[in-house]
Amino acid sequence: MTQADQTFMKQRPVFPLVVSMALPMTLSMLVNSLYNIVDSYFVAQISEDAMTALSLVYPVQNLVNAVTIGFAIGVNAVIAFFLGAGQQRTAGRTAGLGILLNAVHGAVLTVACMLAMPAFLAAFTDSAEILDMGLRYANIVLLFSVPIGLAMACEKITQAVGRMTTSMVCMLIGCVTNIVLDPMMIFGIGPFPAMGIEGAALATGIGQCASLAAYLVCWKLQGLPMPLCLTGGETGGLRLCGRMYTVGIPAALNLALASLLVTALNAILAAFSQTYVLILGVYYKLQTFLYLTANGIVQGIRPLMGYNYGAGEYRRVRQIFATSLGLILAVMVAGTALCLAIPEQLLGLFTQNSGTIALGAGALRIISIGFVISGVSLTCSGALEGLGKGLESLCISLCRYVVVILPLAFVFSRLWGASGVWHAFWVTEWITAAIAWGIYRRATRFARGR
């Protein structure tokens, strides 16, 4: 494949281009979010303690995903820029280094997280049963951190060259594998013994391996529009690594901040009741259906922003941003309507306790007040990553996950109890949206009037 095969990114009309790039990613993210919900649904059938254990392990799982996905976003942005600038060989070298480094990230995370897990879980529960279930789940799922790192690198490289349909298919293979194996391994269906919560962890890891295998097969059959290598190119290896980490570290922190937020909120809510910890965990499972869908649009525009920025097509950069913002706001409106209309039914997927459902439904209605306006922050942050402006994107995420929400959650919880934490969510989204818009406008002054 030659450079000409990527020129559609700066030649096709913007709206159909954005839709064609974002739709496959949005569909795959919908299935991925469905997997998250189905996975938790099956775990909840074991017991409410099992669901609580899954909620407590979630921040560490998210940390692994944050580091590997975040760095892969840096790889994506650098490849797209070099392809737009016509430097295929340097783009190929970036891809090779990105794969190698993300495997290293996965290996380091495996060791570090497994060592820290017992103390981490013990900080949030006194229940021996929850602690035991959490450790059994984590000790298996963390063993797959290296395949996750490799799969994430392959995913973002595939997206960087504009092959969104291929990426969608490979992601779907992993998600469907997870969904099929979950009940079989948890409850002992077919050839598998009943493994309980360990079965859920094993199904998750096998799904990631299936996705990685699918990417490798597609690369073998289709090839890549650049020579995948670790040597050569127009830019030195250290300089390339620096460019990848310049975007990748802030992107990883963007994603890891969610782990910090959930951990801090768990500590606040645990002082009131373990029920609120469960509700927070269920909310984060449900919100993936909304935010992963929006993230599919963001994944679609990242290579478009980077390619057109590298090619000097600044007017198209502005048009791509505006189009994606409109699409993401539409997704958020739909998500808000669902959470306001049927919160009890959504909570009922994870627990049959009527008291928990009632408290959770109230929480979901309050938090959803901020869904629509959060689309502004999501779009600005994703667009800035695509432009290689990782630090600016990180500033937005720091506001959403630390600087604004944590002080508000602490103060509001002292004023109104656990419900104050739920109000902190929507207040934070409105404040952060204003900040995000200002940061984006300042960072993209280069594109105005051109």
pLDDT value for 287: 85
What is the token pair recorded at 29?
A: 């993210």
pLDDT value for 51: 84
pLDDT average, residue stretch 2-16? 66
Phi, psi of 193 (to 5 degrees): -75, 160
Q: Specify the amino acid at residue 379.
A: T
CA 436 – CA 378 distance, rounded (Å): 9
CA 435 – CA 182 distance, rounded (Å): 41
Q: Taking Cα atoms as reference points, which of 284, 212, 336 lies closest to residue 39?
A: 284
Q: Which helix (H) or strand (E) holds 449?
A: none
Q: Is residue 417 left, alpha or beta, with left meaning phi > 0 and alpha meaning psi from -120 to 50?
A: left
288-324, pLDDT tens digit by residue?
778 888 888 888 888 888 888 877 888 888 899 999 9
If one compares 255 and 83, the residue with the highest pLDDT of the two is 83
What is the token pair recorded at 206?
A: 């096998």
Which stretch, 15-24, 152-161, 251-260, has highest mean pLDDT?
Answer: 152-161
pLDDT value for 349: 81
CA 279 – CA 425 distance, rounded (Å): 14
Reply yes or no on whether the pLDDT at 9 is more than 80.
Answer: no
CA 348 – CA 361 distance, rounded (Å): 10
Q: Are 399 and 436 in contact (CB under 8 A)?
A: yes
CA 11 – CA 447 distance, rounded (Å): 18
Q: Taking Cα atoms as reference points, which of 112, 152, 374, 150 lies closest to residue 252?
A: 152
Residues with Cβ within 8 Å of residue 180, at least 6 apart in sequence: none
Q: Which helix (H) or strand (E) holds 224?
A: none
pLDDT average, residue stretch 222-233? 72
CA 40 – CA 331 distance, rounded (Å): 23
Half-sphere exposure of 448 (CA within 13 A, CB side): 6
Q: Specify the amino acid at residue 215.
A: Y
CA 227 – CA 133 distance, rounded (Å): 46
Q: Taking Cα atoms as reference points, which of 18, 437, 71 lies closest to residue 253?
A: 71
CA dihedral sign, ordered 111, 167, 385, 257: negative
CA 107 – CA 371 distance, rounded (Å): 36
pLDDT average, residue stretch 70-92? 86
Local structure of 232: helix, strand or coil: coil
Out of 10-19, 327-336, 433-442, least confident range:
10-19
Reported as a pLDDT band with limits 50, 70 and 90, residue 36 is: low
Which stretch, 67-76, 104-113, 251-260, 262-271, has highest mean pLDDT?
Answer: 104-113
pLDDT value for 4: 44
